[in-house]
Amino acid sequence: MATARKTVIIFKKRLREIDRRIRFLNKRLDSAHVVDPGQQKNRAQVFFGATVTYANSRDEEITVTIVGIDEADLERGLISWISPIARALLKAGEGDSVPVRTPAGTEMIEVIAISYEG
């Protein structure tokens, strides 16, 4: 009987955690806005939804797309708009060099290309 009571308590606790997560996700969905990068009017600068090719200090060219927090996937080149690289790139234009804070210190990256695909 005591084991059954403990099991019920454990399941109730887990159910509360699940309910809390559902409420959190519902709030996220309610506040989400679909952004069509193809509708961006100022294509000369980096904004949310931009696909940016940049060169780092080792002359490696890297292409990333700036997306929402929940969409970020570094393996696919999707970086969150709050990541250090995205924050450094925001409002930069082609040819601009911007500083990025990294664990090894500040690194300059140069914007090579900006595109908005819809």
Claim to verify: residue 4 and residue 42 sit in the same structural domain: no
pTM of the model: 0.75
**Would the pLDDT of 118 be above 70?**
no
Claim to verify: residue 25 and residue 50 sit in the same structural domain: no
Domain coverage including residue 96: 37-115
Q: Are 104 and 90 in contact (CB under 8 A)?
A: no
Q: Any idea what DSSP says for residue 79?
A: E
Q: What is the pLDDT of residues 29-42, one digit of tens each?
A: 888 778 787 787 87
Q: What is the pLDDT of residues 78-97, one digit of tens each?
A: 999 999 999 999 999 999 99
Claim to verify: residue 43 and residue 82 sit in the same structural domain: yes
Give the model's pLDDT for residue 17. 96
User: Per the structure, how many domains does the chain have?
Assistant: 2
H or E segment to which residue 3 belongs: helix 2-31
**Would the pLDDT of 45 be above 90?**
yes
Q: Which residue has the higher pLDDT, 8 or 2?
A: 8
Paired sense of beta strands 51-55 and 105-115, if any: antiparallel
Question: Radius of gyration (Cα) for the chain, nearest Å?
Answer: 21
Q: Any idea what DSSP says for residue 80?
A: E
Assign 6 to helix, strand or coil: helix
